[in-house]
Structure 1
Amino acid sequence: MALTAGTEGGRSGPKQAGGRLRRCDSGLDEEEEEEEEEEEEGREQPCGLGPGPEYGGGSSGERCDSAYSSGPLDSFGSRCSLGSSAKAPAQETAFNPWAYLSKEGDTFLHLCIIHQAESLALTFIGQSSLEYLNWQNDLYQTPLHLAMYTRQASIVRHLVVLGADAELQDRNGNTPLHLACLYGLEESARALTRPLSAQERRCRGHREPADTPRNLERHNWQGLTCLHLAVLSQNDRMVEHVLYSGARVNTQEATSGRTALHLAVELGDLGLVSRLLRAGGDPDAPMYNGCTPLHLAAGRMDPGIASALCQAGADPLLPNMEEDTPVDLANSNWNILELFPFDDVRLVGQPVAV
């Protein structure tokens, strides 16, 4: 894509001796044809905003000091300029990429990320202020959101290293980590959350060197945290990563008060239920209506999950707001002996399975 708009030189038609124009066989004066050509050639061409071929995607393994070099931008102003008309004064206005804003509110960095021009994006990241790195477009998306959507983990990491705010929310209330959990972007999630290395701290220069704690309990506008989204996606590795990063397992979603364990029970995913129980999930955690995960398992007639919850200490006689216990729900829907393992019957001090 051309970054400059040039003008072609005018071509003169054939002339007779003495400087007088001869007429064509068609009857059109050559002088009129010259004027039409000059009008077409003198029209101003638009300035292309995309990067040139030399700004193609770079390797994600580049060292941070070379990735932030100013090389691609040294001649950027001279390469991208407003074209001049053939009839206008021969003066070009330099294009300032940091002052550019599209009609959708995208900065030039937004566009570099959208079009996956990684090398140019890294250069802009290294030379931009925090205000520029955190700019939200009309959909409230920051460059970090767009790097997540386009699965560019290298750009995600460089934005984090230079202090981009990972807690800003888009129009759906999603932070970049919400998006990673929603779409299963494991590599990008690791790039977003892992601690800064000593070399990365040096790359931050004058900016704050300390890691800022991320609020993993932030809800999006659907009332869901990152852990809730990872569970709903049934992505075991993402659930593991979010829990390892410090997410609280018993946080309630905002619409009905379900915990991640409630959601796993509703999905019928015994593996996720077991994982959340090992992480400290409360088998008696109540929803806003008082229902525990065991109420949900009994209502769904799921003996495997009900057994796992009971073995983790769930109370089958705990009533909800309608005074129904899990046993009441089991009596009306299923064989109670298949739902609940009554292991408190003992013979000679040993438990007897019923």
Structure 2
Amino acid sequence: MDVHRVSSRNPMDFNFDSVEPKHGKTLPCQEDRFDSGLDSLKEDELVNDFEELHMDIRDERTQEYEPWRSAVTDDGDSLLHLAIIHEATEHAFQMIKVSNNHPFLNAQNHQRQTALHLAVITEQPQLVERLLKAGSDPHLADDSGNTALHVACKKGSLACFGVITQNCQRHIASMVSFPNYSGHNCLHLASINGYISLVESLVQLGADINAQEQCSGRTSLHLAVDLQNPTLVLRLLELGADVNCLNYGGFTPYHLTYGRQSEEIRRQLYEKTAQELRELPDSESDESDMEDLDSSEDELYDDIKFGK
């Protein structure tokens, strides 16, 4: 059988603000993966597989047990996972329709991805909405600790983000603050990837703009300085970010401008940072400060991979 790897980097048809990161640092933690790990079937072969399993799901009667619900691939993907991956939309809609509030909707593959995760990864907001209304659990996390909302924030998917937040309003406060296994909540992920529109939306939804990620204690403002994104820095300041917040190493966002290229960011933060917090901690001179920061930078700030 001719197979190919499902890509997690499909082009997006939605507009969002983005900044191409210039850093190449890597995570010591496991890198977030958004692909299904599935060696894909051809579209016609997928349809044949549906037919071979004698799926009679055209009526609305929900049976407690159906053979097609228990069928899985070697990667743990159900037929609903496959239908979403291959954009076999009608098959997916039919399975969702007859599986209202059924555990089948929340089945997780070997990467612990649900159908909801895959609908966001493949940019299918209509499926995201159908799944949520049928009982899919938006709190379930994959093997990197990412919920479907984390995935939408990392990918910059405004459409899927909007569908999830509109359909989960009762739980939105906990969802936006929930950290993944790298210690990043949704606001951190949107900031790391430079999605300013999502940053604004998250703050409007109640996300704590000064929340510290769990690896190094950086806020979104620290991360924006790391990204050297002056537009994001300015917007975070306008939204009320605390310039005097210290990360776990005792550094303010202004401290992170040492040795960096953007004078605009340095100026913005210098004016707002408390005078007693402008000098690097335990420093004797500006020159030694910069040397110390440069020598320790990889050690202190190697917990995020800047990039797509």
TM-score (norm 2): 0.68
- Counterpart residue number, 1:123: 94
1:185 matched to which residue of 2? Answer: 157
1:260 is matched with which residue: 220, 236, 246?
Answer: 220
Deviation at 1:51, TM superposition (A): 6.3
Determine if the alignment matches structure 1 residue 172 to structure 2 residue 144: yes
Offset at 1:125? Answer: 1.4
CA offsets per residue over residues 152-204 of structure 1, 9 Å max, x none?
A: 110001112223211211111111111112112111111111147xxxxxxxx
Aligned partners of 2:102 and 2:135 also within 8 Å = yes
CA distance in 2, matches of 1:283, 1:74: 56
Match of 2:38 in 1: none
Structure 1 partner of 2:122: 150
Which of residues 81, 96, 100 is equivalent to 2:71? 100
* Aligned with 1:295 (options 230, 242, 255): 255
SS of corresponding position for 2:255: helix
1:72 is matched with: 58
**8 A contact 1:224–1:253 mirrored in 2:** yes
Q: Provide the rounded CA distance (Å) in 1 between the counterparts of 2:142 and 2:273.
A: 38
Shift of 1:102: 2.4
Amino acid of the structure 2 residue aligned with 1:220: N
Aligned residue for 1:48?
48
Q: Could you tell me how far 1:233 is from its partner in structure 2? A: 1.1
Q: Distance in 2 between matches of 1:298 and 1:130?
A: 54
Give per-residue Cα distances to partners, 1:49-101, cap 9 Å, x unaligned.
Answer: 2369xx9xxxxxxxxxxxxxx972579x9xxxxxxxxxxxxxxxx97212322
Partner of residue 317 from structure 1, selected from 267, 276, 289: 276
Residues of 2 paired with 1:274 and 1:168: CA distance? 34
Determine the C-alpha separation between the residues in 1 that align with 2:279 and 2:183: 22
**Structure 2, unaligned stretches of length 5 or more?**
1-46, 291-308
CA distance, structure 2, for counterparts of residue 291 and residue 261 of structure 1:
12
- 1:247 pairs with 2:218: no
| Contact 2:97/2:134 (8 A) holds in 1 | yes
How many residue pairs end up in the alignment? Answer: 239
Q: Which amino acid aligns with 1:256?
A: S
1:284 aligns with 2:270: no
Larger of the two Rg values belongs to structure: 1
Q: Which amino acid aligns with 1:108?
A: L
1:222 corresponds, among 179, 182, 205, to 182
Deviates more, 1:258-267 or 1:117-126: 117-126
% identity of equivalent residues = 34
Q: Is the 8 A contact 1:291 1:320 kept in 2?
A: no
Provide the C-alpha distance between the structure 1 equivalents of 2:102 and 2:85, rounded to a whole number of angstroms.
19
Which position in structure 2 is the counterpart of 1:110? 81
Q: Normalising by structure 1, what TM-score?
A: 0.60
- 1:239/1:120 Cα in 2 relative to 1: closer, same or farther (>3 Å)? same
Work out whether residues 231 and 239 of structure 1, in 8 Å CA contact, stay in contact via their aligned partners in 2. Answer: yes
Q: Which amino acid aligns with 2:276?
A: L
* Cα distance in 2 for residues equivalent to 1:123 and 1:139: 25
Residues 110-139 of structure 1 deviation map (CA, whole Å, 9 limit, x = unaligned)? 121112111221222122134221111111
After superposition, the C-alpha distances for 1:14-34 in whole angstroms (9 at most, x for unaligned) are xxxxxxxxxxxxxxxxxxxxx
SS in 2 for 1:50: helix
Which 5+ residue runs of structure 1 have no aligned equivalent? 1-46, 56-69, 78-93, 197-209, 334-354
**8 Å contact from structure 1 (residues 140, 169) kept in 2:** yes
Q: CA deviation at 1:301?
A: 5.7
Provide the rounded CA distance (Å) in 2 between the counterparts of 1:235 and 1:146. Answer: 21
1:159 aligns with 2:131: yes
- Match for residue 269 of structure 1? 229
* Other structure's SS at 1:189 match: helix
Question: Hey, what's the Cα distance between the residues in 1 that align with 2:250 and 2:72?
Answer: 50
Distance 1:73 1:108 in 2: 18
**Cα root mean square deviation, aligned:** 3.2
Query: Are residues 108 and 295 of structure 1, via their aligned partners in 2, closer, same or farther at CA, if it must alter by over 3 Å?
Result: same
